[in-house]
Structure 1
Amino acid sequence: MSSKDIYEEVRNSRDFTGKVVLVTGSSGGIGGQIVKLFSALGASVVVTGRREDRIKEIAEETHELSPKKLKPLEVVADLAKDADVERVFNETVKTFNRLDVLVNNAGVYTTANVTDNDFMDILDKLERVDVKASLQLIRLSVPYLQKTNGSIINIGSTISERPQNSGLAYDLVKTSLTKMSEVLAIELAPQGIRVNTVSAGLVESQQGMEDWVKKCAKYTPLGRIGQPIDIAKGVVFLASTDAQFITGHNLVIDGGLKYNMDSNFVNPNII
C-alpha cells in the first residue's frame, strides 16, 4: 500500500457504510449512544433492550442521524433468557444477512456482601447477562464475523480494576469480560476477528445514581464525569480500520478515575 493510500484509509476510517452493528443494551445510556454514533457514521444498527418504548425512542434518533436514513432493527429482548439472546442474533442476520461489529454492552449493576442471603442469586443474575449472554452471542456471531473480518468489543468497567467493598459480584463479571477478550483475541485472531474491551469509568447516564455520580467529578483527574459519547468514541475507534492491528486490548476511558479510587468508592454514603 502506498503512503497516499494509507492516509486516505485513515481519512475514511470512520465510514461504516454497508456495515452492520449489533449493540446489546442499546435502548439508552452508553449503548444508546453507541448505536447513534455508528448510525451517524453510516452503519445499519440493531437497537435492543427490555423496554419497547425506550427502544423506539433510540431507534427514531438513530434513523434521523443516519446519512442515508437507514432504519434500525428494533428487538425487544431480555438477555437473561437464552431464547431471547438467540432471537436477537437470528433477527439481526435475517434482516441484514451479515454482521461486522458485536458490542456486548448489556449489563446489570448492583452491590452485595458475600454474606447476604441473596448473594448467589445476585451473582447468577449478573453472570447470566454480562458473561453468559455475551459468550452466547459471540459463539453465534463467529461465522459471520469471520466473513467480514469483524470485531467484538466487550464493555467492562474501571471499577473492577480496583477491589471494591460489597462489589464482589459486579467485579467478578466485569473482570470475566476483560479476560474473555484477552483469551478470545488469541483464539479468534486466525479467523480475522479482533476482540477488545472498553473499560468505562463513571458515566453521567447511569440510572438511579445521578446525584452520586456528579459528586465523583472531584475524584477524576480530568475534572468531570464521563459522558456516553466518550465511551461510544472509544468503541467506534476499536471497530474502525485505525485499530486493525489492535486485539486483546483493554481501552480504559475514565478520565484517570481509576488512580483515585479506594475500596469504598462505590459506596454512595462515603462520598
Structure 2
Amino acid sequence: MGNLLQDKVIVISGVGPGLGRTLAVRCARHGASVVLAARTASRLDEVAKDVADAGGRAVTVAADITDHASAENLVTESLAAFGRVDALVNNAFSIPAMKPLARTDFDHIRAGIELTVLGALRLTQLFTPALAESKGAVVNINSMVIRHSQERYGSYKIAKSALLAASQSLATELGPQGIRVNSVAPGYIWGETLKQYFAHQADKYGTTVDRIYEHTAAGTDLKRLPDTDEVADAAIFLASPMANAITGQCLDVNCGEFHH
C-alpha cells in the first residue's frame, strides 16, 4: 500500500468496530498517526491496538462531540500528542429511527441532528485553526440516503442532508484558509454490522444471507456491495494530498446503486 498520508495526523471521530476502525487502520498503513475519538473508551483501546499492529501510532480520547467542553478537550489532546492536525474525519453515527416521519418522535430527530450535523460542525469549528495551519482537510461521512426518498429513512435523510449542506457551506467559507471540506456517501457497507443485520433478516423471513445479499446487490451496477475497506479508501483519498484541488464535493461509494 502506498503512503498517501505519510507523516500526516488524522483525527477520526465516532470510532466503532465498523468503518471507524477500518479508517484508523488503513490511515496508519498509509503512514499517518491517528487520534481516535468516541464515547466508549474501551472500544478505542481495541482499535488503538489494531493501529499499533499495523505499524502506526494512535492516541485515544474519550469524547462526546455533542458536548462543547469534551470536544475542546479532543482538540487539546490531539495537538498535545502530535503538535498538528492534517485531517478531521467526522464519522459519528446514530442508529436511525426507521419509522415514517408522521410517527417519528421529534426528540429522536433532534438527537440525530445534534450528533450528525452539529457534532461535525462543532469539531470542524474547533479544529479550524489547526487545519488552517496545515492546509488540511475535513471529510464528513454521509450516506446514500441523501440520494433516495425510501420509506422510513426520513429522519436520517433530514440529518444527512443537513450535513451535506453544512459541508458545502464550510467548503466555501474555509477555502480561503486552505482547508478543503468534502463528503463520502457510502451505500450499504459489507462489513460485520450489515452481515449481522442480514443474518437477522434471513432468520426472520426464512431465507439465507446469500439470497438477501444478492437481492440487495441486484440494484447496483456492479452487482455487489462495497466493503468497509473500499469506503475507507475514498475518505483517505479525500484526506490526502492527491485531492488537493477537490473541495465541496460528495464522493458516492455505492457500486453504482445511485448515480449522481
Do the two structures share a fold, i.e. TM-score over 0.5?
yes
Give the match for residue 114 of structure 1. Answer: 101
Per the TM alignment, residue 15 of structure 1 is displaced from its structure 2 partner at its CA by: 3.5
1:67-78 superposed matches below 5 A: 69-70=56-57, 72-78=58-64
Structure 2 distance, partners of 1:90, 1:255, is 39
Structure 1 residues 130-183: Cα deviation after superposition (integer angstroms, max 9, x where no partner): 011100000011111011010001111112211121221100111111111211
1:1-271 superposed matches below 5 A: 14-66=3-55, 69-70=56-57, 72-110=58-96, 111-116=98-103, 119-205=105-191, 206=193, 209-211=197-199, 214=213, 215-258=215-258
Give SS of 2:102's match: coil
Q: Could you tell me which amino acid in structure 2 is paired with residue 28 of structure 1?
A: P
Per the TM alignment, residue 185 of structure 1 is displaced from its structure 2 partner at its CA by: 1.1
Q: Bigger CA drift: 203-212 or 105-114?
A: 203-212
Give SS of 2:258's match: helix
Structure 1 distance, partners of 2:59, 2:101, is 40
Structure 1 residues 8-40: Cα deviation after superposition (integer angstroms, max 9, x where no partner): xxx97x432321100111232111111111111
Gaps of 5+ in 2: 202-211
Structure 2 distance, partners of 1:31, 1:247, is 22
Per the TM alignment, residue 220 of structure 1 is displaced from its structure 2 partner at its CA by: 2.1
Per the TM alignment, residue 225 of structure 1 is displaced from its structure 2 partner at its CA by: 1.8
Per the TM alignment, residue 56 of structure 1 is displaced from its structure 2 partner at its CA by: 1.5
Per the TM alignment, residue 90 of structure 1 is displaced from its structure 2 partner at its CA by: 2.2
Identical pairs, percent: 30
CA contact (8 A) 2:65 2:123 kept: no
Structure 2 distance, partners of 1:178, 1:201, is 15
CA contact (8 A) 1:160 1:174 kept: yes
Gaps of 5+ in 1: 1-10, 260-271
Per the TM alignment, residue 61 of structure 1 is displaced from its structure 2 partner at its CA by: 0.8
Over the aligned positions, Cα root-mean-square deviation in angstroms equals 1.9
Structure 1 distance, partners of 2:59, 2:44, is 10
Per the TM alignment, residue 217 of structure 1 is displaced from its structure 2 partner at its CA by: 2.0
Structure 2 distance, partners of 1:220, 1:48, is 33
Structure 1 residues 35-73: Cα deviation after superposition (integer angstroms, max 9, x where no partner): 11111111110122232332111111111112xx42x11
Structure 2 distance, partners of 1:58, 1:210, is 25
The count of corresponding residues between Structure 1 and Structure 2 is 244
CA contact (8 A) 2:65 2:122 kept: no
